Amino acid sequence: MNRYSILVADDLGEEGLAILRASADVTVATGLDDARLCAALRGKDALIVRSATKVTARALEGADRLTLIGRAGIGVDNIDLPAATARGIVVMNTPDAGAVTTAEHAIALLVSLARQIPGADRNLKDGKWDKKRFVGVELTGKTVGVVGLGNIGRIVADRAAGLAMVVVAHDPFVPQDRAPAGVQMVELDELCQRADFVTIHVPLLSETKHLFGRERLLRMKRGARLIHAARGGIVDDEALADLLESGHLAGAALDVFETEPLPADHRLRTLPSVVLTPHIGAATYEAQRSVALDLARQVVTCLSRGVVLNGVNVPRVSPAQAATLAPFLDLTHDLAAFLAGVQPGRIESIRLTLQGGIAEGAPRPLCVAMLCGALRRVGERPATPVNAEAIAAEAGIRVHVESSTLKRDFLNLVRVEMLVDGARHAVVGTVLGHRHPRLVEYDGRLLDAIPEPPLLVTWHDDKPGVLGRIATQIGELSRNIERMQLGAAPSPAEPALGIWNLDLALDGDGLARIRAIPSVRAAVQVG
């Protein structure tokens, strides 16, 4: 098997590199500009970055083989997501590894701001003792408004509650019944009007650019304080400086800025009511190691098994779901590829039916895996988890996903049904022992086949000697039969079905020789 080729463009650490090198050829090249990154991407299967490297559309012009960009960390604003998506390139991050560290930094900023600790520290080191100058505010009983209840926001809310603060939060994707205990969900304007401290924990998107611009900052109650350790650009830094100078806001603590490094002459550097740190929210030894190891493992899993963990531009599968879901992702992909391979023609519609506990997991990732398997040969673009849904829509293929009650002697079942050139065909599969995929039914024929390619599928007369002649021909073609499963003919007039797992795929001449065997009515190859 060919080894993958990975470019690491930012520091990942030796432990992370060791995981990658066990499965791939790794090139480390840091400090690359657009032109050099473009050249370095040629022939690479994966790119790994932190926040320093900018992955632009221009740089991606050199990505002739790239299938994956991994971001060691949370924010992906240094990656041109639309350009990567247009090329079918998966982008993944590590949203969990640095969550605790970043949340703790936000709390540290909040406490430092409330008690003016940085200013008092500087004053004392300058040989002074101005006790009356550094009168702070208590946190107990104060209201903190948490903007964004993702992984980081939830930890901040928990820590703030531990400081005896009243916690309100805003997140359009989190209803009250899914909020942490004791956290009241409110609209953003209400949060700004009520909170003594506002702390921001949302990603930088087009919708959140200048979410805290001049108008929203003015809606914060007079004397409130702002904590920002998310991504630069969510807060309008110039408007913030104006409102701090005017006295409308009592203070701000910032770890991120619209322009980084923060310009030496920026007004925020001169304001005594501001606490500043140089984008170090995730900068602890534990977090730096954790994000590197997590991303290295995710990249290897994606390249070797096709399972995308923590995808940004694909349906998200978390590492916690992976152990259960990954074998079903493989199964669903292979079932769809099998059906598309044995039933060539125009796919008009495709339906995924999930039965059992798997139906409660992640239906959309399973649907995308099905489309990747079914649409490999539709159009010119290869189907990936990034573009499979778009390719299906462009081809006019109707896609449907549903769940059903348990009807068979399996805990979980996956059924893929296609309408091809007006004829309906279906294949059913399951996973045995949490990791062994099985094709258990094809168009009503009961089977126990392994659907992993390469597969030779034959339709042949159900009479003595036919299987022997097929097996002999396979051997003469220097291929080994790893497993064979027979689907008996449903009636004497219909052919039997043979599914042959081979060690190597047949070439065109080999497949023609199988088809030329007497009593073989048809033969196709899958994979």
The verdict on 472 and 509 lying in the same domain is yes
Q: Does the model's pTM come out above 0.85? A: no
In 344-464, which ranges are continuous DSSP H helix?
A: 363-374, 388-394
Instruction: Convert the pLDDT of each residue in 33-62 to its tens digit.
Output: 999 999 999 999 999 999 899 999 999 999
Which range is least confidently modeled, 35-39, 349-353, 363-367, 404-408?
Answer: 404-408
CATH number for the domain spanning 391: value is 3.30.1330.90
Q: Given this model, what pLDDT does residue 406 score?
A: 53
Average pLDDT, the chain: 92
Instruction: Convert the pLDDT of each residue in 205-232 to its tens digit.
Output: 889 999 999 999 999 999 999 999 999 9
Given pLDDT bands bounded at 50, 70 and 90, which one contains residue 1? very low
The verdict on 437 and 484 lying in the same domain is no
The verdict on 8 and 87 lying in the same domain is yes
The verdict on 255 and 107 lying in the same domain is yes
Where among 436, 452, 468 does a domain terminate? 452
Q: What is the mean pLDDT of residues 442-446?
A: 89
3-state secondary structure 433-478: CCCEEEEEEECCEEEEECCCCCEEEEEECCCCCHHHHHHHHHHHCC
Q: What percent of the chain has pLDDT over 70?
A: 97
Which range is least confidently modeled, 154-158, 218-222, 491-495?
Answer: 491-495
The verdict on 325 and 447 lying in the same domain is yes
Tokens, residue 67 = 């299938």
Residue 135's alpha-carbon distances to 42, 138, 160, in angstroms, are: 59, 10, 21
CATH number for the domain spanning 299: value is 3.40.50.720
The verdict on 71 and 146 lying in the same domain is no
The verdict on 38 and 113 lying in the same domain is no
- Domain count for the chain, please give it: 4
Q: What is the mean pLDDT of residues 296-304?
A: 90
Residue, of 244 and 491, whose pLDDT is higher: 244
Where among 434, 452, 470 does a domain terminate? 452
Q: Is the pLDDT of residue 360 over 80?
A: no
The whole-angstrom separation of Cα 203 and Cα 171 is 12
- Residue with token string 């009983």: 141
Q: Catalytic site residues?
A: 231, 260, 279
Where among 393, 420, 452 does a domain terminate? 452
The verdict on 128 and 182 lying in the same domain is yes
> Which residue range is the domain that position 79 belongs to?
1-95+283-313
The verdict on 112 and 91 lying in the same domain is no
Q: Given this model, what pLDDT does residue 108 score?
A: 98
